[in-house]
Amino acid sequence: NAGVTQTPKFQVLKTGQSMTLQCAQDMNHNSMYWYRQDPGMGLRLIYYSASEGTTDKGEVPNGYNVSRLNKREFSLRLESAAPSQTSVYFCASSSLAPDTQYFGPGTRLTVL
């Protein structure tokens, strides 16, 4: 039982490049979330998926897209990376809202 896994752990991009952050959970949770964490800003919700087949914008969705591929997987895509997207990205899942959220280990992204 791995919980929530994220790939990659680290990534460096150049401005304008694209990439997809992958997230998977093996706890049969319905809801999944993507957050970013910046120094002095706390965790901010980018997008969430309350259940398979649905996605909704969070607090800071601009510059991102998401796909809920199936119940297990929820990916985050940066189409054209910008330096302002340098951050630590966490994926999380929960069984039922507003249940406890379980976090993955994070992806440290640097955009040059």
Residues near other proteins, by CB under 8 A: 31, 33, 40-45, 48, 50, 56, 58, 90, 94, 96-106
Helix (H, G, I), strand (E, B) or coil at 83: helix
Q: Which residue number, 1 or 14, has a Cβ lying nearer to other proteins? A: 1
Q: Which alpha helices (DSSP H) does the chain contain, by range?
A: none
CB of 80 to other proteins, least distance (A): 27
Q: How far is the CB of 58 from other proteins (least distance, A)?
A: 7
The smaller minimum CB distance to other proteins, of residues 81 and 106, is found at 106
C-beta of 17 vs 102, nearer to other proteins: 102
> Which of 7, 15, 10 lies closest to 84 in space, CA to CA?
15
> Which residues, 6+ apart, have CB-to-CB distance to 21 below 8 Å?
6, 7, 8, 11, 34, 75, 76, 77, 78, 89, 91, 107, 109
Q: How far is the CB of 10 from other proteins (least distance, A)?
A: 11
